[in-house]
Amino acid sequence: MKNFKHMLVISGTLCFAIALFQIIIGFSPSLSLYFGAPEALVKNAYMLIFVSFLVTGILTIFGLYALSGVGFIRALPGLKPGLLVISAIFILRGLLVIPEFLVVMGVVQSSIPVAPRFILFSIGSLVLGFFFITGTIGRWNSFPPKN
């Protein structure tokens, strides 16, 4: 039971860390471009900052749901389905590792260039999704009723 709590604590901590990182790269067009932002977005500094804050807000909410699942903060609305949806988002994003790997290896042709570092980003997302889903399933019966 305690290990499942750790999984959600790790999930929340990583979400907060990624959110902080997102704000930092949002103020650097070259870093944003390096980490996969579209060129059109990078050319518009105000839009880049807006999107960066939007993504940061979403990641912060994800982190808060993880901490709520542990019981560090009060139960947030829709805790159970929320954690399942967050898990699915990270896992589905992480599954992009398969086509990315195939493109990088030259097995599949793509009009969109895929840098090898994107494979690492996908693996990171897949691992984070694994932490979320493992912690969620392990703590399922510990969540407050009606969540």
- The answer to whether 59 and 16 are in contact (CB under 8 A) is yes
pTM assigned to the model:
0.91
d(CA 62, CA 69): 11
pLDDT by residue for the chain (147 residues), tens only, comes to 578 999 999 999 999 999 999 999 999 999 999 998 999 999 999 999 999 999 999 999 999 999 999 999 999 999 999 999 999 999 999 999 999 999 999 899 988 888 899 999 999 999 999 999 999 999 999 888 765
Q: Kindly list the domain boundaries of the chain, sorted by start residue.
A: 2-142
